[in-house]
Amino acid sequence: MTAQHDGPLRGRAALVTGAGAGIGRGVALALASAGATVVAAGRTRSTLDGVVAEIVRRGGRALAVRCDVRDLDSITQCLGVIRDEVGKLDTLVNNAQTYRHAALLEATDDDLADTWASGPQAVFRLMRLAHPLLAADGGVIFNFGSGVQLDPSDSFHGTYAAAKNAIGALTRTAAVEWGKDGIRTFLIVPAAESDQLAAFRTRDPERYAAMLGRVPLGRFGDPEVDIGRPIAWLAGPEATFMTGTTIMLDGGQMYLR
């Protein structure tokens, strides 16, 4: 690995799940640009290797670890790699989450189980197992919510919204219980460009335009610039009195509607 970037996160280490694409990739790049050593975790090694190569090309430090957050053994092995090869963990970004779109009467037990396993159960496990590393030097946890959990008029997102609300509860509870350990937590609600959003735009341009019309700033965010950089700032030394709150990185889409 090349020499580490100078920056507010120099000397710190971050784990980003779902780092191979979309928001996870953007957050990984931003944290590395701020100086952190980044562990890019996900299920597809080839995409993770691409993110690591981009970070190294920019002069940062990173390694890829294959991890399926739905599997406890996989999580345990990932954290073992961090302990052995990095030696510390200061920032945990729980970004990975599967998504199944269905009305409640059409959703299956498997839909709920998979959404739960990749969402609140994975977040619960990662937070608990990473706690000793995070508590060693005042760590930060970023969990991800969604606009669908805030909009009571939304439909076809019931299992996903339920999972995201559970993640919000875990985030707030950890802020209260682990503040004494120097651990801060945030719930991030983003609205950013992604491969899934691009596919949706192609598949249903009218609904995409309607969604975009609900964003006061008139665009969806860039995963690195508009989502990753604020997270990097929150993880740094200038935000150490902030914890347990929801950060809306959605261009005003929800709270200004």
Residue 148: predicted pLDDT: 81
Q: What is the 3-state secondary structure (H, E, C) of 92-120?
A: EEECCCCCCCECCCCCCHHHHHHHHHHCH
For the chain, the average pLDDT equals: 93
Span 97-105, average pLDDT: 85
Residues, the chain: 257
Sorted by where each starts, the structural domains of the chain and their CATH numbers stand as 13-249 (3.40.50.720)
Dump pLDDT digits (tens) for 123-133.
999 999 999 99
Span 88-112, average pLDDT: 92
Dump pLDDT digits (tens) for 5-27.
679 999 999 999 999 999 999 99
Of 139, 60, 43, the residue nearest 95 (C-alpha): 43
Q: What are phi and psi of 87, to 5 degrees?
A: 90, -5
2 pLDDT tier (thresholds 50, 70, 90): very low
Region of 62 on the Ramachandran plot (φ > 0 left; ψ -120 to 50 alpha; else beta) = beta
Residue 112: predicted pLDDT: 93
Residue 1 reports pLDDT greater than 50: no
Dump pLDDT digits (tens) for 239-256.
999 999 999 999 998 876
Residues 6+ apart with CB under 8 A from 65: 39, 40, 41, 48, 78, 81, 82
Report yes or no on whether pTM surpasses 0.85: yes
DSSP 18-54: TTTSHHHHHHHHHHHHTT-EEEEEES-HHHHHHHHHH
* Candidates 99, 160, 208, 255; catalytic one: 160
- Does residue 208 have an active-site annotation? no
4 pLDDT tier (thresholds 50, 70, 90): low
